[in-house]
């Protein structure tokens, strides 16, 4: 199954999609620390139609984060196929890394979402709350399976202690990114 046959959301309301999303589960990635918890993303719509992206995770009480920009892959299309660009490493942003961010499903209330990309190497289950109803979670896992994802790779994200709403927490200076390159 190739990316062309994957169903994505049409006519995504970007304004409603903005705000805080908690990572409920994902495929492990070398771009995220293995021991990360309370992982979340905050999206802010910019006047030019791009989206400011702030991804955060906590490891041993320290906040790791990376900022990026998302934009429609084809501004004329009605499909929720976005590109997201981050500069790495986060402590010295020099190299642009661009990836696909396809919204495969979002509920009518914009409270939970399934996000993937055409290679099916990355998958995220997101929710506006740090916890998700098990029935909803299972429904999203089934949708992912229908789209050709190997859902056995999904890993739940721990949310033991919700982090503060502000960004005023000890930072790791981007070391999580270096550690992630070595599988830590």
**DSSP string covering 13-53:** -HHHH-EEEEEEEE---TTS-TT-EEEEEEEEE-TTS-EEE
Residue 141 maps to a domain = yes
Give the confidence band of 45 by pLDDT, cuts at 50, 70, 90.
very high
CATH number for the domain harbouring residue 27: 2.40.128.20
Peptide bond into 89 cis (omega under 30): yes
- Residue 166's pLDDT is 57
Confidence of residue 1 (pLDDT cuts 50, 70, 90): low
In a domain, 159, yes or no: yes
pLDDT in tens, 55-69: 999 988 888 888 999
Going by pLDDT thresholds of 50, 70 and 90, the confidence category of residue 165 is low
Give ∠ CA 143-114-19 in degrees, rounded to 5: 160
- Name residues whose C-beta falls within 8 Å of residue 144's C-beta, 6 or more positions apart in sequence: 104, 114, 116, 123, 125, 151, 154
Return d(Cα 159, Cα 103) in angstroms, integer.
Answer: 23
* Stretch (H or E) spanning 2: none
Cβ-contact 36, 59 below 8 angstroms: yes
User: Is 183 contained in some domain?
Assistant: no
CB-based contact 104:81 (threshold 8 Å): no
pLDDT (average), residues 90-98:
80
Domain range for residue 98?
3-165
Query: What pLDDT, on the 0 to 100 scale, is given for residue 2?
Result: 52
- At 144, list the tokens: 């992912």
DSSP letter at 79 equals B
pLDDT of residue 110: 98
Residue 182 reports pLDDT greater than 80 = no
Q: What is the token pair recorded at 95?
A: 């190299």
Residue 173 lies in a domain: no
- Quote the number of domains for the chain: 1
Sign of CA dihedral 39, 42, 43, 47: negative
The answer as to whether 181 is a domain residue is no
Q: Let me know: does 45 contact 15? Beta carbons within 8 Å.
A: yes
* Residue-averaged pLDDT of the chain: 87
Beta strands 95-106; 155-156: pairing state: unpaired
**Within-domain flag for 184:** no
Mean per-residue pLDDT for 166-181?
47
171 vs 149, more confident: 149
The model carries a pTM of: 0.86
């Amino acid at each position: 199954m190739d990316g062309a046959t994957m169903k994505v959301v049409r006519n995504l309301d970007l304004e409603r999609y903005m705000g805080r999303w908690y990572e409920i589960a994902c495929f492990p990635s070398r771009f995220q620390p293995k021991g990360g918890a309370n992982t979340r993303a905050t999206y802010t719509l910019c006047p030019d139609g791009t989206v400011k992206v702030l991804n955060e995770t906590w490891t041993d009480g320290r906040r790791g984060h990376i900022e990026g920009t998302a934009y429609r892959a084809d501004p004329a299309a009605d499909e929720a196929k976005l590109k997201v660009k981050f500069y790495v490493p986060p402590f010295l942003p020099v190299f642009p890394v661009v990836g696909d961010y396809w919204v495969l499903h979002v509920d009518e209330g914009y409270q939970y979402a399934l996000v993937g990309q055409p290679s099916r190497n990355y998958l995220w289950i997101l929710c506006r709350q740090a916890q998700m109803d098990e029935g909803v979670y299972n429904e999203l896992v089934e949708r992912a399976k229908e789209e050709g994802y190997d859902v056995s790779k999904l890993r739940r994200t721990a949310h033991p202690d919700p982090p503060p709403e502000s960004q005023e927490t000890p930072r790791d200076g981007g070391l999580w990114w270096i550690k992630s390159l070595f599988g830590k």
